[in-house]
Structure 1
Amino acid sequence: MTISTKTLLKSAALALATLSVPAMVATPAAAQSKTSIAVANYEAAVVKSQAYQTAVAQMKVTYKADIDATNARATALQAELTPLVEAYNAAVQKPGANQTTVQPQAQALQTKRQSGQQELARLQQRVTLATAYVEEQVGMKLNDAIKAAMKTKKVDLVLQPQAVVAREPYVDMTDDIVLELNKLVPTASITPPAGWEPGQAQQQAEQAAAGQQPSGR
């Protein structure tokens, strides 16, 4: 149950989820689509950006103690859960077993799992927050990067992969968006300001935009 870099760098509430991103996609990289339509994986673009990758490397050093502590505790918790899982399985396999008879074992297992998850969340809290901060810094420029890539590739419509049934490889312009993100966000800080919370910058941007709109009569 070792916590991988991918796990540690996946915040519970992705800053990307709060972004207002076009419902769409990118243009072909190797060839021009006749319909000027392309696909792009926005989350992958953020993760593949140089700013994000550099931040990951920095976090492995800066938060090494947190990561090591999380991994060690995760391994220990797995060992602690094993006998509870075995007890539950044994109870289920007994003749006449039903929901009532296995309830004590099921409750013990569930309680241990929940407390373990909460403990691990506390141990990796700084890493989770730092990751969300990096994601937000890069994600705030995602729309601009998509628009720039669409203009360069002469694409009119961009779709996300899950919205596509079939496509040719050349219509994926995720890497083109990555190139634009690298220009717009060359670096990202892994140290959130005091009191910072995920989605904060997006909320402030939306409030600022709303304040600039003329009020109706």
Structure 2
Amino acid sequence: MKTLHHILLAAAMIAPGALVAGAATAQVGGVAVADPEAAVANSKAWATARTQIQTTYKAQIDQANARRQAISNELQPLVTAYQTAAAAPGATEASLRTQATAIQTREQAGNAELQRLTAPASRAQAYALEQISAKLPDAVNAAVRAKSVSLLLRPNAALFAQPTADITAAITAELDRTVPSVGITPPANWQPGQQGQQGAAAPAAAAPATNNRAPTGR
């Protein structure tokens, strides 16, 4: 989930130093790694919320999946025709522009349609994730204290780390303890970010309309 990463990254960075908070009180110096996004994604509250959302919004999600396939089927002959024209002798960007524009316009319209169809589910996902992510700094701090960690890094920031140095599971356990469940029905006036996260946006419940993007021409 690409957008999930951005939501959880924003949550983990609510306050500077959130991932190393508690270092000053660590009893024993130690370095550890943790993936805050994975900690939230692996939480029981998110697993339950995701299942509830898939059930509650099944009709909309099924409709979006059907439309995504239909849009892909509509685009495929256009893309094939474009590729054939692009391979023809003398093809230029100018001669291909009309076809490329038609493909891009249809794809954009398809994506907009899918976003409308999945908006309720996406909003519910964002609401659930925001509730869990609001507890992430506290969960990190608790895990850091329990493990006597003086420096906590993201896995991709460490050149090497033993598996035992990863405290992601400990953070998830703290989340499971402090936020065992969340609601999936946001208030009517709720907007992502109201609980303190900045830059949060609902993860798309539907993938882009198609992967058949037109080449840009010669």
Range of TM-score over shorter length: 0.7 to 0.9
> Matches of 1:38 and 1:13 in 2, distance apart?
22
Q: Partner of 2:10 in structure 1?
A: 17
Structure 1: runs of 5+ lacking an equivalent: 1-5, 27-33, 205-217
1 CA distance for matches of 2:136 and 2:182?
Answer: 14
Matched residue, 1:66: 60
The answer to whether the 8 Å contact 1:11/1:128 transfers is no
Cα drift, residue 24 of structure 1: 3.9
Distance 1:155 1:171, change over 3 A: same
Tell me the distance in 1 between the aligned counterparts of 2:152 and 2:183.
29
List per-residue Cα deviations over 1:173-216 (Å, max 9, x = no partner).
Answer: 11000000011101100000011111112169xxxxxxxxxxxx
Say which SS state the counterpart of residue 55 (structure 2) adopts.
helix
Which residue of 1 is the match for residue 77 of structure 2?
Answer: 83
1:137 aligned onto 2:131:
yes
Aligned-residue Cα RMSD (Å) equals 2.2
Structure 2 unmatched ranges of 5 or more: 22-27, 199-218
Cα distance in 1 for residues equivalent to 2:92 and 2:113: 31
**2:35 is equivalent to residue 41 of structure 1:** yes
| Residue type of the alignment partner of 1:197 | Q
- 1:104 pairs with 2:98: yes
Structure 1 position 142, deviation (Å): 0.2
Task: Please point out which of 135, 149, 152 is paired with 1:155.
Answer: 149
Distance 1:183 1:12, change over 3 A: closer
Residue 162 of structure 2 is matched in structure 1 by 168
Quote the offset at 1:11 in angstroms.
Answer: 5.6
Q: How many residues align?
A: 190
Which residue does the alignment assign to 1:181? 175
Matched, 1:56 2:50: yes
Structure 1 Cα separation of the partners of residues 39 and 195 of structure 2: 20
Normalising by structure 2, we get a TM-score of: 0.81
Give the deviation of 1:96 after TM superposition. Answer: 0.9
Please name the residue that 1:116 is paired with.
110
Give 1:90 shift: 1.0
Structure 1 window deviating more from structure 2 (162-171 vs 117-126): it is 162-171
Cα drift, residue 103 of structure 1: 0.5
Q: Is the 8 A contact 1:44 1:174 kept in 2?
A: yes
**Structure 1 residue matching 2:159: 3-state secondary structure:** coil
